[in-house]
Amino acid sequence: MTGSPADAPLLEVEGLVSGYGLQQVLHGVHLRVGAGEVVAIIGPNGSGKSTVLKAIMGFLRAWQGSVRLSGQELGRLAPHRRVEKGIAYVPQGRTVFPDMTVEEHLDLGAWTVRDPRARREARERVLSLFGRLAERLNQKAGTMSGGEQQMLSLARALMVWPRLLLLDEPTLGLAPMMVEAIFETIVAIHRSGVSVLMVEQNAAQALQYSHRAYVLEMGRNRFEGPSPALLRDPQVRYAYLGGKGPAPTAG
Amino acid sequence: MANRTGAVAVDGSAAPPQPGSARPVLRVEGVSKSFGRLKAVDRCFLEVGQGEIVGLIGPNGAGKTTLFNIVSGFERPDEGRVWLRGQDITPLKPYQRSRLGLGRTFQITRLFPRMTVWENLLVAAPDSARAPRRAAQLLELVGLAAKRDEYARHLSYGQQKLLELARILMRDPVLVLLDEPAAGIHPNLLQQVLALVRRLREEQGTSFLVVEHNMDVVMGHCDRVVVMSAGQVIAQGPPAQVQQDERVLEAYFGRPQPGRGLWAEPAADQAGQRAGEGAGA
């Protein structure tokens, strides 16, 4: 193990190799998330974005490489142990239970929090972030719109009040107005002190709503840097179609 | 692209597209399919000519797999028709389409894991006297002759894909649908698959429709690329043209929303109410 926890980044992934069964998806991916950062992972379909999150969360084993949280190697730690260490995860798709109420989802999210005071505090913070949910504690999730269900997934994950929130395609399949609302919520989550690592298909907006980003391609790092610079770089856009883009003009 | 008549023969007896060499092997005509309120495929038109390798691409959720399922008969379209060599195959089941020369591979291979490589090939043509000879040829062609008596489940993922392709070729298809042939296979095996595709096209005039995320494969090996987004075909043309198409780039990359975000773009034309909101605020 290298570096003292004091100066280690919140999350550090190095040389990550993983995949499903015989199928290798990641071929040595690296990334970092510093405390207080919003970091995006973007890249074409099948580039391994979601796989990175699953490996960080421990749903997939890292075949090689390391995942460190504040300098501590997570190794083969089970997913729920990672939650206890301060990582929360919102999977792709709206993974709410249709017959359960908002309240029940929040309780479920706080399952691993044993201290009643911590539970209460997390609940207050979450409800202040999600005003609309506070008004609907008794509503069943199945009767909510897609955007509201996604908000509920976020709220449920935040009930452990994590240091790092992993989001897998939080805006997938949502109407444009709801996409905007989800991104604004992510900003609010960031402002309340939670670091965010999000995988997004909506690259342009993910870059607008992050400090830094990594562009993956076929399971490897392709570009990385401050999001504003990546948003301006035409090479990043053309990378989505495997092209180099038009030849650069002078200047 | 050649101009085609819009006439559609409903009884299926007369071949509606133009006769001769210009007649496409596959014609997808105004096909739509909804799941609940989601319009997965929305009035799609698409053609594959003889000996043509056509790439079908688009962001996740664009409707590619649904369209594939409609062409191969695993889904029934709500409207529209599918023609194979001038024959309306819309009402036909997958096995009937297979007999007419349409083969498909799957994203996750669908072999019989507890049967040998050899048996997996023979099931494709159980009653054919020439099947054993053809199977032997194909094993040579895909480089699996040495694995003849192995169980399919003992093959590597890439070898399974080659076997699946060989099994389709047992029926000498006129059109092969390849669902992500490059996903998860070793680069060397991928080159083997691509060489095989080209060879079949050259020697037998086989046509291919390929869903693939690996853009190097799509742009380097397809004659034409069809791009879907939100259920619709938004562009088609030669790879180099599609790669520069603004609509395609936007479908993949999204569109920035002026003046929004975690950090504000300090562009002169956007200066205004949100300009003071910087990163790390």
What's the pLDDT tens digit per position in B222-278?
999 999 999 999 999 999 999 989 999 999 998 888 888 998 655 444 444 343 444
Helix pair angle (A116-129, A146-158), 10° resolution: 150
Q: Which residues are A33's β-sheet partners?
A: A11
Identity of the amino acid at B17:
P
| Angstroms from B66 CA to nearest CA on chain A | 16
Across the interface, which of A38, A208, A210 has its CB nearest the CB of B256? Answer: A208
Contact A218 B214 (CB under 8 A): yes
Contact A207 B256 (CB under 8 A): yes
pLDDT in tens, B49-82: 999 999 999 988 899 999 999 999 999 999 999 9
Q: Are A31 and A10 in contact (CB under 8 A)?
A: no
With CA atoms as reference, the chain A residue closest to B61 would be A173
3-state helix, strand and coil shares in percent for chain B, rounded to the nearest 5: 35, 20, 45
Q: What is the pLDDT of residue B256?
A: 87
Q: What is the pLDDT of residue A7?
A: 78
Q: How many beta-carbon pairs under 8 angstroms link A with B? A: 100
Residues with Cβ within 8 Å of A103's Cβ and at least 6 positions away in sequence, in order, are: A137, A138
Q: What is the pLDDT of residue A50?
A: 96
Mean pLDDT of A173-201: 94
Q: Cα–Cα distances in Å, from B147 out to B110, B221, B247?
A: 18, 28, 46
Residue B211 has pLDDT above 80, yes or no: yes
Q: What is the pLDDT of residue B105?
A: 87
pLDDT tier, A155 (very low <50, low <70, confident <90, very high otherwise): very high
A246: chain B residues, CB-CB within 8 Å = 244
- The kind and range of the H/E element at B134 are helix B131-142
Q: What is the pLDDT of residue B108?
A: 74
Residues with Cβ within 8 Å of B111's Cβ and at least 6 positions away in sequence, in order, are: B120, B152, B153, B160, B163, B164, B167
Token pair listed for B167: 């099994």
| Average pLDDT of chain B, as a whole number | 84
| Angstroms from A210 CA to nearest CA on chain B | 6
Look up tokens 């405390």; give the residue. A35
Identity of the amino acid at B54:
V
Sheet with A72-73, strands from edge to edge, namely A23-33, A11-20, A64-69, A72-73
Q: What is the pLDDT of residue B183?
A: 81
Dihedral of the CA atoms A55, A61, A62, A68 (nearest 10)? Answer: 60
Contact A201 B59 (CB under 8 A): yes
Residue A39 has pLDDT above 90, yes or no: yes
Residue B22 has pLDDT above 70, yes or no: no
pLDDT tier, A6 (very low <50, low <70, confident <90, very high otherwise): low
Q: Are strands B26-35 and A87-90 parallel, antiparallel or unpaired?
A: unpaired
| Beta-carbon-side half-sphere exposure of residue B210 (alpha carbons within 13 Å) | 29
With CA atoms as reference, the chain A residue closest to B154 would be A22
| Long-range contacts of A125-130, Cβ-Cβ distance < 8 Å, separation of 24 or more | A125/A158, A125/A161, A125/A192, A126/A155, A126/A158, A126/A159, A129/A155, A129/A158, A129/A185, A129/A188, A129/A189, A129/A192, A130/A154, A130/A155, A130/A185
* Gap between the Cα atoms of A237 and A244, Å rounded: 9
Q: What is the pLDDT of residue A231?
A: 93
Cα-Cα-Cα-Cα dihedral sign, residues B272, B274, B275, B276: positive
Look up tokens 């894991």; give the residue. B113
Q: Are A134 and A102 in contact (CB under 8 A)?
A: no
Q: Which residues are A161's β-sheet partners?
A: none
Token pair listed for B101: 């020369």
Report the range of poorest mean pLDDT among A164-178, A210-224, B6-20, B236-250: B6-20
Q: What is the pLDDT of residue A43?
A: 92
| Angstroms from A51 CA to nearest CA on chain B | 13
pLDDT in tens, B41-54: 999 999 999 999 99
Mean pLDDT of B207-235: 94
Contact A208 B249 (CB under 8 A): no
Q: Are A11 and A198 in contact (CB under 8 A)?
A: no
Contact A24 B184 (CB under 8 A): yes
Residues with Cβ within 8 Å of B110's Cβ and at least 6 positions away in sequence, in order, are: B164
| Angstroms from B279 CA to nearest CA on chain A | 7
Q: What is the pLDDT of residue B157?
A: 84
Token pair listed for A16: 């990550």
B267: chain A residues, CB-CB within 8 Å = none
Q: What is the pLDDT of residue B26?
A: 97
Identity of the amino acid at B197:
V
pLDDT in tens, A51-90: 999 999 999 999 999 999 999 999 999 999 999 999 999 9
